[in-house]
Amino acid sequence: MAEQIIVNYFLPPSIQFGAGAIKQLGEHVCAFGGKKPLIVTDEGVTNAGILSRTVAPLESAQIDYAIFDAVQPNPTDLSVLEGLKGYRTEGCDLVIAVGGGSVMDAAKAIRILTTHEPPLENYYVDVGGIDRITNNLPALICIPTTAGTGSEVSQGSIITDTSGRTTEGHRKRAISTPYNMASLALLDPELTVGMPPGLTAATGMDAVTHGVEAYVATRYHPIAEGVALQALKILGKNIRQAYHQGNDVEARGEMLIASAMAAFSFQKGLGAVHSLAHQLSTEANIPHGIANAILLPEVMIFNLPHAVDGYADIAGALGIDTSGISKADAADAAIAEIRSLNEEFSIPTGLGVAGLKRERIPKIAKDAMLDHCYKFNPRPCTKADMHNLFEAAF
Ligand SMILES: [Fe+2]
């Protein structure tokens, strides 16, 4: 054991996985004693016809439900309050999230406020919110419609704070506690089949980033390390197929389970990529997965002196033949593989192309230091490092 410390590990929630799993939704609601779930979703999910596939099993089980379908990308605290209003006025007693990371994060925050006095600001991790959140919460079923964020098995919710009290303008802040985990993650690959290639790539690269950052994060967590490596193995084997052949249900299923595994693994910690990327969604409207994909190779180069062995393991997991080459060469090959995936998926070649204005870098480098993720980065980061990483990825 690397450190003689007392550690506490949380396992993922109950996971129901398989093509057609959505059909059993009514039974799960009943098992939790739910009489009227609030379904939290967004316009994209509704328009893709996934919402109707979610309510069908509820209707056949004669379960009444209400819908809050106005979650915006990068959900704000205001949007959470709107959902809470729906929960209360409709007399709901359980929450079902159907969507990607934004929807699941918003649903998790709505669920907290159903039993914890607003404002949401009291519950962010950076103000000690973890000690204010109890297990007195209604059941939450998370049904991801993308394969990447892994919010369905993570302890975190990322919410855009509009209070302006901690920084100039809006800032992404995290809620993180084991009680924030879903009661059930329902993974049905058939719901992800219609995802367009661009979204498959962006969310898939988010999952890859979770695995890479978690594996080399500094917290002692051998369980998460093993899961991260296996997640990367499955992602490396299936991400291209899911991108090019979106109707391959098997590849979609592998991506879905691997993204849940990668998200479980980041209980070990994430790293600088996420602290940097969180600034880009509020500042430049760059989707989270795209921001991660662009930043990941630059952060890996920055981390290299502190993470050679880890990156060499990652190269092997991603399917690169590392036999007979040095650890340093294998680590370089892992970085090259990330670049090659980005190129194949037509990820923008830099943050400037993706929409960031260069003159905003000093401000967002400062804000990145307020984000907790980099604290587990294998190489310690300063504000100047954050600035240089934004420049390198520009
Ligand atoms: Fe992420």
According to the model, what pLDDT value does residue 166 have? 60
- How high is the pLDDT of residue 376? 96
How far does the centroid of ligand 1 lie from the alpha carbon of residue 273, in Å? 9
Distance CA(41)–CA(46), nearest Å, equals 7
325 C-alpha to center of ligand 1: Å?
31
Q: What pLDDT sits at residue 24?
A: 97
Ligand 1 centre distance from Cα of residue 282 (Å): 14
Kindly give the parts of the chain with pLDDT less than 70.
1-4, 165-169
Total domains in the fold of the chain = 2
Say yes or no: 187 and 236 in one domain: no
Looking at the fold, whether 26 and 156 belong to one and the same domain comes out as yes
Q: Identify the domain boundary among 192, 224, 244.
A: 192
| Structure tokens given for 274 | 């996420």
Ligand 1: distance of its center to the CA of 361 in Å? 21
Residue ending a domain, among 192, 208, 224, is 192
226: left (phi over 0), alpha (psi -120 to 50) or beta: alpha
**Co-location of 206 and 93 in the same domain:** no
CATH number, domain with residue 155: 3.40.50.1970
Backbone φ/ψ region at 357: left (φ over 0), alpha (ψ -120 to 50), beta:
beta
Q: Is residue 56 in some structural domain?
A: yes
CA of 159 to the centre of ligand 1 (A): 13
134 lies in the same domain as 245: no
- Near ion ligand 1, which residues have CB within 5 Å? 206
Residues 169 and 201 in one domain: no
Mark whether 162 and 216 lie in a shared domain. Answer: no
Cα 176 to ligand 1 centre (Å) = 14
How many whole angstroms from 34 Cα to the centroid of ligand 1? 30
Instruction: Output the CA 158–ligand 1 centroid distance in Å.
Output: 10
CA of 262 to the centre of ligand 1 (A): 10
DSSP code at position 142: E
pLDDT at site 13:
85
- Indicate the DSSP class of residue 97: E
CA 326 to mean position of chain CA atoms: 33
Q: Is residue 1 part of a domain?
A: no
Report the alpha-carbon distance of residue 164 to residue 335 in Å, rounded.
Answer: 37
What pLDDT sits at residue 5?
73
Helix (H) or strand (E) holding 198: helix 197-216
**From ligand 1's centre to the CA of 328, what distance in Å?**
26
The alpha carbon of 214 and the centre of ligand 1 are apart by a number of angstroms equal to 11
- Residues 237 and 104 occupy one common structural domain: no
The domain in which residue 229 lies consists of: 197-392
Q: Is residue 7 part of a domain?
A: no
Sign of torsion over alpha carbons 177, 263, 74, 355: positive
Same domain, 80 and 186: yes
**pTM score > 0.85 for this model?**
yes
Domain end, chosen from 192, 208, 233, is at: 192
Q: How far is the CA of 388 from the centre of ligand 1 (A)?
A: 21
Spacing, Cα 101 to ligand 1 middle (Å): 9
Both 219 and 319 in one domain: the answer is yes
82 and 157 share one domain: yes
175 & 297 share domain: no
pLDDT at 294: 98
Residue 73 lies in a domain: yes
CATH number of domain containing 301:
1.20.1090.10
Q: Are residues 161 and 210 in the same domain?
A: no
Distance 58 CA to ligand 1 centre (A): 31
Q: Which pLDDT belongs to residue 163?
A: 81
User: How far away, in angstroms, is 240 Cα from ligand 1 center?
Assistant: 19
pLDDT at residue 7 in the model:
78
Going from the Cα of 276 to the center of ligand 1, the distance in angstroms, rounded, reads: 11
Q: Ligand 1: distance of its center to the CA of 47 in Å?
A: 25
